[in-house]
Amino acid sequence: MSWKETAEPVLTRMPTVARPEGHVPFKRKLLWTAGILVMYFFLTNVTLYGLQTTTQGGDFYGQFRSILAGASGSILQLGIGPIVTASIVLQLLGGADLLGLDTENDPRDQVLYQGLQKLLVVVMIILTGAPMVFASPLLSADPQVAQQLGIGGRGVEGLLFAQIFVGGILILFMDEIVSKWGVGSGVGLFIIAGVSQRLVGGLFSWSGLTPTASDGFVAVWIGIITGSAELPGSPLTADGLSAIFLGQGMILAMITTVLIFVVVVYAESVRVEIPLSHARVKGARGKFPVKLIYASVLPMILVRALQANLQFLGQILHSQWGGMPAWLGDYGNQGQVTEGLFWYLKPIQSPEEWMWFVGATVTAEWWQVLLRIGVDLTFMIVGGAIFAIFWVETTGMGPEATAQQIQNSGMQIPGFRRNPQVIEKVMERYIPQVTVIGGALVGLLAVMANMLGTIGQVSGTGLLLTVSITYKLYEEIAEEQLMEMHPMMRQMFGSE
Amino acid sequence: MSGSDSGGLMSSAGLVRYFDAEDRNAIRMDPRTVVAAGMLFGVLILVLRAL
């Protein structure tokens, strides 16, 4: 008996959000999307009950927060972390073809896949949530609440975990609602929401308005120009220049941010077009685009999440294992890793972390810094390519699946026989190569952006994801509008 | 043109994939119920903290 029969009773009974019956008008879709977004922002602002807020130790996800969404110390502490981690596991299993599920054709397998997906997310919520609450000092129980309720510190920790658990499940269902009733997907929406918030903050925040906030790009430059902010020296000296570009002036971060926008939007339009013609209707022509970022930027989030989970493991080891050797990892009093294996595995986040030649902020030797950059680059480029390949395979964008799609739509490649195997052969010339190049390129871009810094510390991956998801969303909205105006198009796009 | 790269199944950043196929046994929830439950849960925690 295969695992399918054994797991079937559980996997088929996973709760799901009902599908809309019939067509959902575009305006209704926008309403659902906006509603979920409001709910998301509301929940990120609800602090956990029983959490000791006076000694906030810092964020678990740290620099990964911008791509994993959610907010530290809130009900949505976990963000989309569990969904992403579960997706990694599924990608690896699916990519290695260990699942034995035919999600292209078999409806039974599709149901099983959906169930497995959900079950894995729940497992990941427990696996990441439990250590955060029970095994680390970053989320600690409020002794006052423990006394009030008379259940002790452990009891309050249990309450904390229960809330984080519910929050994780809510995120999962919110994603499902957006996917089925709204535009785009919840995961994409939450990433854009978080990154955009940081980006706007990094540009426009002003300490005159909120005393706790640091000045954003605009406020700093108004200060510099009007002379109310002091530069450490004349702009013509090395100190002054470094302050303008790297320090408070943030010019380099601004350039990187704009550059990433431009590069991603440009790369979205770089494609190999395979001409198609209709087998029976003469003159009906089309093109199948194989985009440079064919697998989109999404596999990148999987690589970053893998790194995030490694760092998470380091933190848990550090807090639980007193005799952790220094070669494995040494942690500062803020819980940040300062040397050892986990330091090398931690991706570079800002110029201050590696530019040993300008400031005295880098404590490590230059060769250590170079080694760490090398590890980060290798991780992202190789990982980006590998996950892009898996992504293409498991989401039905591979040569075989697309050949079948083209065949089913009644199209053929002019000059070739009308046969799925023949179309597949042609597709095999382009899709794998483009996928690998695209994945590696996106990995390189993400690391470069991180090294040069971004406005609002949104991280290169966060920025790449946001621009690319927004672009996709724009395309999807355009398609929706076209279908609203011409109901006939609905059939052609095959959505109903 | 049908059969392009967005074949209806994939949505932008769809890390979780949803298919049309559904099992009869599955527990179905109205999206309104989910939103209401989520909001109520948030408010409940807010009230608990305020107490």
Q: Could you read off the pLDDT of A88-141 as tens digits, one per residue?
A: 898 888 877 788 887 777 888 888 888 999 999 999 999 999 988 888 777 888
Residue A267: C-alpha distances to residues A77, A195, A271, A464 (Å): 34, 20, 8, 11
Percent of chain A at pLDDT > 70 equals 95
Q: Is residue B28 part of a domain?
A: yes
Nearest residue to A459 (alpha-carbon basis) of A381, A358, A355, A353: A353
Instruction: Give the number of A-B residue pairs with CB atoms closer than 8 Å.
Output: 177
Residue bearing the bigger pLDDT, A92 or B7: A92
Counting DSSP H helices and E strands in chain B, the numbers are 1, 1
> Tens digit of pLDDT for each residue in A214-261?
788 888 888 888 877 777 777 777 777 778 877 777 888 899 999 999
pLDDT: is A18 or A297 the higher one? A18
Q: What is the pLDDT of residues A129-166, one digit of tens each?
A: 998 888 877 788 888 888 888 888 889 999 999 999 99
Name the residue facing A469 among B13, B17, B48 (closest C-beta).
Answer: B13
Instruction: Tell me which chain B residues have a C-beta less than 8 angstroms from the C-beta of A113.
Output: 17, 19
Q: Quote the pTM value.
A: 0.86
Per CB-CB distance under 8 Å, the chain B contacts of A166 are: 41
Question: How far apart are the CA of B48 and the nearest CA of chain A, in angstroms?
Answer: 7
Question: What is the pLDDT, as a whole number, of residue A334?
Answer: 67
Please determine, for residue B13, whether its predicted confidence score (pLDDT) is greater than 70.
no
The more confidently predicted of residues B20 and A186 is A186
Structural domain boundaries, residue B22 = 14-50
Question: B25: which chain A residues are within 8 Å (Cβ-Cβ)?
Answer: 12-13
Q: What average pLDDT does chain A have? A: 85
Q: How confident is the model at residue A471 (pLDDT cuts 50, 70, 90)?
A: confident
Report the pLDDT averaged over residues A384-391.
Answer: 89
Average pLDDT, stretch A46-57?
A: 79
CA distance B47 to chain A (A): 9
**Chain A environment of B28 (Cβ under 8 Å):** 15-18
In the predicted model, is pLDDT for residue A368 greater than 80? yes
Residue B22 lies in a domain: yes
Provide the pLDDT confidence category of residue A173 given band limits of 50, 70 and 90: very high
pLDDT for res A57: 61
Taking CB atoms and an 8 Å limit, are B26 and A80 in contact across chains?
no
Which three-class secondary structure state does DSSP give residue A51?
Answer: strand
The domains of chain A, with CATH numbers, are 25-197 (1.10.3370.10), 272-454 (1.10.3370.10)
In a domain, B7, yes or no: no
Res A44 pLDDT > 70: yes
Per-residue model confidence (pLDDT) at position A492: 60
Q: How many residues does chain A have?
A: 496
Q: pLDDT-derived band of residue A489, with 50, 70 and 90 as boundaries?
A: low
Which residues of chain B have a CB within 8 Å of the CB of A43? 38, 42
Rounded to two decimals, the ipTM of the complex is: 0.83
Q: For A362-384, what is the mean pLDDT?
A: 88
pLDDT for A398: 85
> What pLDDT score was predicted for residue B12?
42
Q: What is the pLDDT, as a whole number, of residue A207?
A: 80
Q: How far is A206 from chain B (nearest CA, A)?
A: 28
Q: Averaged over B20-40, what is the pLDDT?
A: 88
On whether residue B24 sits in a domain, the answer given is: yes
pLDDT greater than 70 at residue A491: no
CA-to-CA distance for A346 and A340, rounded, in angstroms?
A: 10
Mean pLDDT to the nearest integer, A80-84: 93
The residue type of A52 is Q
Residue type, A369: V
Q: Dihedral, CA atoms, A456, A461, A463, A469, nearest 10 degrees?
A: -140
Q: A312 φ, ψ to 5°?
A: -60, -45
**Paired residues of A277 in beta bridges:** A285, A412
Query: Of A16, A83, A113, which is closest to B22 when you measure between CB atoms?
Result: A16
pLDDT at A213 over 60: yes
Measured between beta carbons, the chain A residues lying within 8 angstroms of B49 are 47, 49
Q: CA of B36: which chain A residue's CA is closest?
A: A39
Pairing state of beta strands A285-291 and A271-278?
Answer: antiparallel
Asked whether residue B4 is assigned to any structural domain, the reply reads no
Is the pLDDT reported for residue A453 higher than 90? no
Residue B3 belongs to a domain: no
Residues 6+ apart with CB under 8 A from A150: none
Instruction: Among A14, A107, A411, select the one facing B21 at the smallest CB separation.
Output: A107
Nearest CA-CA distance, residue A415 and chain B, Å: 19
pLDDT tens for each residue of A233-242: 777 777 777 7
Can you say whether residue A305 is alpha, beta or left, with left for phi > 0 and alpha for psi between -120 and 50 degrees?
alpha
Say if B21 falls within a structural domain: yes
- β-pairing, A411-412 with A330-331? unpaired
Q: By CA distance, what is B37's nearest residue in A?
A: A170
pLDDT at A298 over 70: yes
Residue in B25, B28, B10 with CA at minimum distance from that of residue A294: B10
Whether the per-residue pLDDT at A382 is higher than 50: the answer is: yes
Least confident of A123-127, A330-334, A477-481, B33-37: A330-334
**Residue A278: enclosing H or E segment and its boundaries?**
strand A271-278
Q: What is the pLDDT of residue A401?
A: 85
Give me the residue from A48, A179, A465 closest to B14, CB to CB: A179
Question: What is the number of alpha carbons within 13 Å of residue A173 lying toward its C-beta?
Answer: 25
Is the pLDDT at A494 greater than 60? The verdict is no
When pLDDT is averaged across residues A29-37 and rounded to a whole number, the result is 95
pLDDT above 90: residue A76: yes
Q: Can you give the pLDDT at residue A238?
A: 77
Q: Is the pLDDT of residue A63 over 80?
A: no
CA contacts within 13 A on the Cβ side of A436: 6
- Which of A24-28, A464-468, B11-15 is least confident? B11-15
Mutation to test the B interface, candidates A74, A114, A175, A495, most B Cβ within 10 Å: A114
Distance from CA of A124 to the nearest CA of B (A): 14
pLDDT confidence bin for A192, thresholds 50/70/90: very high
Residues of chain B whose C-beta is under 8 A from some C-beta in A?
1-23, 25-31, 34-35, 38-39, 41-42, 45-46, 48-49
Domain assignment of residue B5, yes or no: no
Q: How confident is the model at residue B11 (pLDDT cuts 50, 70, 90)?
A: very low
Contacts of A392 in chain B (CB under 8 A): none
User: Chain A residue with minimal CA distance to B19?
Assistant: A110
How many domains in chain B?
1
